[in-house]
A and B are shown apart, each in its own frame.
Chain A
Amino acid sequence: MPERIVYMDYNATTPLHPEVKKALVEGFDIFGNASSMHTLGRQAHEEIEKARKIVADFLGAYPEEIVFTGGGSESNNTVLQMIDCGSGTCRCMSKGRLGLVTTQIEHPSVLNVAQYMENKGISVEYLPVDPTGKVDLEAYRRALAKNPALVSIMMANNEIGTIQDIRTLARMAKEQGSLFHTDAVQAVGKLPISVHELGIDYLSFSAHKLYGPKGVGILYVRKGAPYCTFIHGGHQEEGRRAGTYNTLGIIGLGKAIELASKEMAEEVARVRGLRNKLKEGIQERIPDIHVNGHPTDVLPGTLNVSFYGVEGESILLYLDMEGIEVSTGSACASGSLEPSHVLLATGVGPELAHGSIRFSLGRENTMEDVNYVLEKLPPIIQRLRSMSSAYSVSSMGRSA
């Protein structure tokens, strides 16, 4: 067994906040169907509406603008598939416009839906990004000129942590009459967000990225923005999302957001401090590395580093043996043969994409964790480089 377990994969998912766990345990007994008229049903209903109010307040929205969903992927699917819902009666967003504009660095729950829409005959533009991961504004301007129905750009990237200027991007879309969606799954609770100030029409979020339970999320839908139901059935969520209310999940989500609203400022500063210490420590101790993403507009806990001459899965597994849990953009770890599409889009090249490690820090990480990683990581990189045909010490660094 390793000396300690250091979880640094918070962008993949997070452990429950102890307060969320407590709320969930208490919530287990609230079994009534929130759609029922009797007392037990109304009790569940009240809990759900309480959570809705908390989320709305946190995002600067109205409660009726919040739709509870089964998570980020469902929220993203709901919005993107609205472009062409195929229903003749509903108020489709397209109104003759059938295009979608998104980016090359989106999460698969946007990218693969975009591809699906493309197969259905929708034209899709995948915007390139610069080496720091920021959307290319010139390409965006050109894409907007084609009057797309919808623009979908993530607020912060899950792999490299780069934060987009959503306010500007949304304003540009609005000027063109296009609707604007942002996948904010990695951003909520880490950046201050006011949906009305940002001027966006839709926003996706998932509770499990913010110390809440898995399988529950939200979709913010601006009042007056077009909406087509994605999951048809009962009249839950004012007919916007069918399925018996996930009372327990929603209670957990509400609690997670309530805690974030109290702890965010302090926690973000603390985690950013740890992340920067980790970054500087790696830069001091290990030669021939490349820090991916934007130098300043980056999520507080995300640090993506490529190591020349070593492959990511090997680094990940050696770190795992030491109890350090991270992720990689290498092809080998993903089960596909392609390395990270995000890193390739930033232009780092396949070699560096294969050798990338994402450290994503969160609320349970401490300075001791950072020191532990800084103690264990350098010998691992050194060892893998010593057995690598793509890294030669004798030639002082990279040989390829």
Chain B
Amino acid sequence: MDWLYSEIVKDHFMNPRNILEDETSFQADGVGTVGNIKCGDQMLVAIKVKDGVITDCKWKTYGCASAIASTSMLSEVVKGMKLEEAYHITPEEINRRLGGLPEHKIHCSVLGDKALRAAIDDYYRKTGQEDKIQKEKAVIVCQCMNVTDKDIEKAVKEGARTYLDLQNKTKIGTVCGQCKEQTLKLLEEYVHLYG
């Protein structure tokens, strides 16, 4: 009988790699946490860095099988990767390496890259390299699904014109809906810019 997810997801879910078992003994150079357990998933990513390269990556995740498997895969992928490259890793990349996730599960895998970026930013901050933190700092609009103004901008650039388009692309406002007003304002702004 088929399992719910791909064999790769199953493997990473049942045998997750690089869990941060002992927070006190792991001397992280950068740590980032994103998500909210109220929304069902939260991730913590801790990295070690040497000469601009991620030498180790450990994590903790509260979430479903997709969330656990995607953080596990992420931690494997970024080891040995240059910071600049790791900074731009996308959920699609992780999703592809996992052999694909069911459509309604993709939103569970979108936190890992954000947690990693937060960890890298933390490292930059600690090492006096604030200039490397991406200037256009994204602001989280939707706390539940962790969607930023940059995500809205990107979605509009890609053709989103209505609130529904935005929700389909980013899952924004699909949990508590409190961000709807702010989202509509931003949507109007970006549509004005790019429409």
Chain A positions within 8 Å of B, measured between CB atoms, are: 309-311, 313-314, 317-318, 321, 330-333, 335, 337-339, 349-351, 354, 386-392, 394, 400
Contact status A388-B62, CB under 8 Å: yes
Contact partners of A354 in chain B: CB under 8 A: 37, 40
Name the one of B16, B38, B44, B65 contacting A313, with C-beta atoms under 8 angstroms. B65
The reply to whether the CB of B43 lies closer than 8 angstroms to some CB of chain A is yes
Contact status A321-B14, CB under 8 Å: yes
The reply to whether the CB of B104 lies closer than 8 angstroms to some CB of chain A is yes
Contact partners of A350 in chain B: CB under 8 A: 37-40
A386 closest partner in B (C-beta) = B21
Contact status B13-A387, CB under 8 Å: no
* Chain B interface, number of residues (Cβ within 8 angstroms): 37
Q: How far is the CB of B12 from chain A (nearest CB, A)?
A: 11
Contact status B175-A311, CB under 8 Å: no
A-B contact count (CB 8 A): 81
Chain B positions within 8 Å of A, measured between CB atoms, are: 4, 13-14, 16, 19, 21, 23-24, 33, 35, 37-44, 59-68, 104-105, 107-108, 144-145, 171, 174-175
By DSSP majority rule, is chain B's interface helix, strand, loop, or mixed?
mixed
Name the one of A317, A349, A351, A387 contacting B19, with C-beta atoms under 8 angstroms. A387
Contact status A317-B62, CB under 8 Å: no
Q: Complex formed: what's the CA distance from A391 to B62 in Å?
A: 8
Contact partners of B108 in chain A: CB under 8 A: 332
Q: How far is the CB of B103 from chain A (nearest CB, A)?
A: 10
Contact status A335-B61, CB under 8 Å: no
Instruction: Provide a sorted-by-A list of 20 A–B residue pairs whose CB atoms are within 8 angstroms.
Output: A309-B62, A311-B62, A311-B67, A314-B13, A314-B64, A317-B4, A317-B13, A318-B14, A321-B14, A332-B64, A332-B105, A332-B108, A337-B107, A351-B38, A387-B16, A389-B42, A389-B60, A389-B61, A390-B62, A391-B62
Contact partners of B40 in chain A: CB under 8 A: 311, 330-332, 337, 339, 350, 354
Q: How far is the CB of B169 from chain A (nearest CB, A)?
A: 15
Contact partners of A394 in chain B: CB under 8 A: 23-24
Contact status A389-B64, CB under 8 Å: no
Q: How far is the CB of B138 from chain A (nearest CB, A)?
A: 21
Q: Complex formed: what's the CA distance from A389 to B43 in Å?
A: 6
Q: Complex formed: what's the CA distance from A391 to B21 in Å?
A: 12
Name the one of A318, A349, A389 contacting B44, with C-beta atoms under 8 angstroms. A389
Q: Complex formed: what's the CA distance from A318 to B144 in Å?
A: 26
Contact partners of A388 in chain B: CB under 8 A: 60-62
Q: How far is the CB of A371 from chain B (nearest CB, A)?
A: 24
Contact partners of A339 in chain B: CB under 8 A: 40
Q: Complex formed: what's the CA distance from A359 to B174 in Å?
A: 29
